């Protein structure tokens, strides 16, 4: 096999969750955060599929990027039409809800299908790199547009006589992890927060713990602390009360699939936060890269909701007093548990979609506008 061509350098200096290194891809094993920071080296399709299924890599944009490299790896072994279709099907089956996974695989399949066998693996790798680089640019742009929205929230608060300033930070709530760990860099929902923080705007983030896998407590808190952004972890059930008390200026979350009418699938619990935000008059925004829009999905009703292992609910792992990471059981033996991993927030509860092309309304017109700006057809 020919050695992999060199990876084009990226101009963006932001910390990367995923790096292409010759014939392998390097990332961090998110199943071991926050207590162990262990590099995960992906070198074949099976490893990529396993990493997505086990959530060593997770977050809609990141699993799309890793699936793309998985397909390129698969084509190194065999690249006829049957092998291509089998690899796409295998990788697409790893997780059902985030549409970025299928989007990336279909994009690469469309590029390599017309090429003669023998040249497809190199082309697939180049396309996977393009997807990863685009993810960085998309999220950087979401950071800029979302930061402008948050500055607006600060202005509104000042108009209420509570200006943002030293000792009185802008208060933002987020759910799950839609930060740099969930993407190639920057993150989606956290990108505006990093942009504001870099601009010196005083900021504090309420981080939903995000049961059952605790992506908020384990991952969002880890990366915000790492970046020096002040944050506080709260129980999932606390956000509504904080909003009612006027302690949240805006809520911003990521998304795993957005339907044509603006309905949003995201981590389980998002819907309840949107309901509480609407009741309390807190703006509720969704950071939405256009690859996360499913142009073929008319509304949220048919979005597949992943049901994960009930063990994620019945057990929890954490660091014991002696430093070991241990797993404990929380639920009485013999009691059933059900673990839907995502929910759908109706578009009417979403105040705006923050895309890389700007802020649009969460409705058919807004989604169509975002797709047009991205050069995509309405139903692809
Ligand atoms: O199950 P996960 O951890 O992959 O779920 C992640 C989320 O729900 C994120 O909010 C979503 O993928 C957006 S990531 C930028």
- Over residues 140-182, the pLDDT tens digits come to 999 999 999 999 999 999 999 999 999 999 999 999 999 999 9
Dump pLDDT digits (tens) for 345-363.
Answer: 999 999 999 999 999 999 9
- CB-based contacts of 226: which residues, under 8 Å, 6+ apart? none
- The tokens for 48 are 């990529």
Give the atom of ligand 1 at the shortest distance from the alpha carbon of 341: 1
- Give 255 Cα–ligand 1 centroid separation in angstroms: 7
Cβ–ligand 1 distance for 182 under 6 Å, the answer yes
- The whole-number pLDDT of residue 91 equals 98
Cβ–ligand 1 distance for 357 under 6 Å, the answer no
379 — pLDDT class (breaks 50, 70, 90):
low
Contact 111, 68 (CB under 8 A): no
Cβ–ligand 1 distance for 176 under 6 Å, the answer yes
- The whole-number pLDDT of residue 380 equals 53
Q: HEC states along the chain? A: CCCCCCCCCCCCCCCECCEEECCEEEEECCCCCCCCCCEEEECCHHHHHHHHHCCCCCCHHHHHHHHHHHHHHHHHHCCCHHHHHHHHHHHHCCCCCCCHHHHHHHHHHHHHCCCCCCCHHHHHHHHHHHHHHHHHHHHHHHHHHHHHHHHHHHHHHHHCCCCCECCECEEEEECCCCCHHHCCECCCCCHHHHHHHHCCCCEEEEEECCCCCCHHHHHHHHHHHHHCCCEEEECHHHHHHHHHCCCCCEEEECCCEECCCCCEEEECCHHHHHHHHHHHCCCEEEECCHHHECCCCCCHHHCCCCECCCHHHHEEEEECCCCCEEEEECCCCCCCCCCECEEEECHHHCCEEEECCEEECCCHHHHHHHHHHCCCCCCC
User: Whole-angstrom Cα distance, residue 185 to residue 195?
Assistant: 13
- The mean predicted confidence, pLDDT, of the chain is 96
- Give 280 Cα–ligand 1 centroid separation in angstroms: 25
Contact 255, 287 (CB under 8 A): yes
Who wins on pLDDT, 36 or 11?
A: 36
6 — pLDDT class (breaks 50, 70, 90):
very low
Q: Is the pTM of this model over 0.75?
A: yes
Give the atom of ligand 1 at the shortest distance from the alpha carbon of 308: 1
Looking at the annotation, which residues are catalytic?
256
- Give 87 Cα–ligand 1 centroid separation in angstroms: 23
Pocket test for ligand 1, best of 52, 53, 177 (most atoms within 8 A of CB): 177
Residue nearest to atom 8 of ligand 1 (CA): 267
């Amino acid at each position: 096999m020919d050695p992999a061509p060199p990876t084009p350098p990226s101009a963006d200096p932001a910390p990367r969750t995923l790096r292409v290194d010759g014939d392998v891809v390097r990332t961090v094993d998110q199943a071991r955060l926050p207590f162990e920071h262990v590099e995960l080296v992906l070198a074949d399709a099976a490893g990529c599929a396993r990493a997505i299924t086990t959530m060593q890599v997770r977050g809609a944009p990141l699993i799309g990027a890793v699936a793309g490299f998985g397909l390129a790896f698969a084509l190194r072994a065999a690249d006829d039409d049957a092998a291509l279709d089998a690899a796409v099907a295998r990788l697409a089956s790893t997780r059902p809800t985030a549409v970025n996974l299928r989007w990336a695989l279909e994009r690469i399949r469309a590029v390599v299908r017309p090429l003669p066998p023998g040249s497809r693996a190199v082309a697939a790798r180049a396309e996977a790199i393009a997807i990863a680089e685009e993810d960085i640019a998309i999220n950087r742009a979401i950071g800029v547009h979302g930061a402008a929205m948050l500055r607006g929230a600060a202005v509104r608060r000042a108009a209420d006589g509570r200006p943002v300033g030293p000792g009185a930070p802008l208060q933002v709530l987020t759910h799950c992890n839609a930060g740099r760990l969930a993407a190639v860099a920057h993150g989606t929902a956290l990108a505006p927060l990093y942009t504001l923080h870099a601009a010196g705007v005083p900021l504090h983030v309420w981080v939903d713990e995000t049961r059952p896998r605790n992506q908020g407590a384990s991952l969002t808190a880890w990366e915000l602390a790492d970046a020096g952004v002040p944050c506080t972890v709260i129980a999932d059930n606390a956000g509504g009360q904080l909003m009612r008390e006027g302690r949240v200026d805006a809520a911003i979350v990521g998304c795993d699939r957005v339907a044509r009418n603006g309905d949003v699938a995201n981590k389980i619990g998002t819907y309840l936060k949107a309901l509480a935000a609407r009741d309390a008059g807190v703006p509720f925004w969704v950071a939405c890269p256009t690859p996360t829009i499913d142009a073929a999905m008319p509304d949220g009703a048919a979005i597949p909701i992943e049901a994960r292992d009930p063990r994620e609910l019945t057990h929890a792992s954490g660091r014991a007093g002696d430093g070991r990471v241990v797993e404990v059981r929380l639920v009485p033996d013999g009691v059933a548990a059900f673990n839907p991993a995502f929910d759908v927030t109706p578009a009417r509860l979403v105040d705006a979609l923050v895309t890389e092309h700007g802020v649009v309304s969460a409705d058919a017109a807004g989604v169509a506008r975002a797709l047009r700006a991205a050069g995509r057809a309405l139903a692809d």
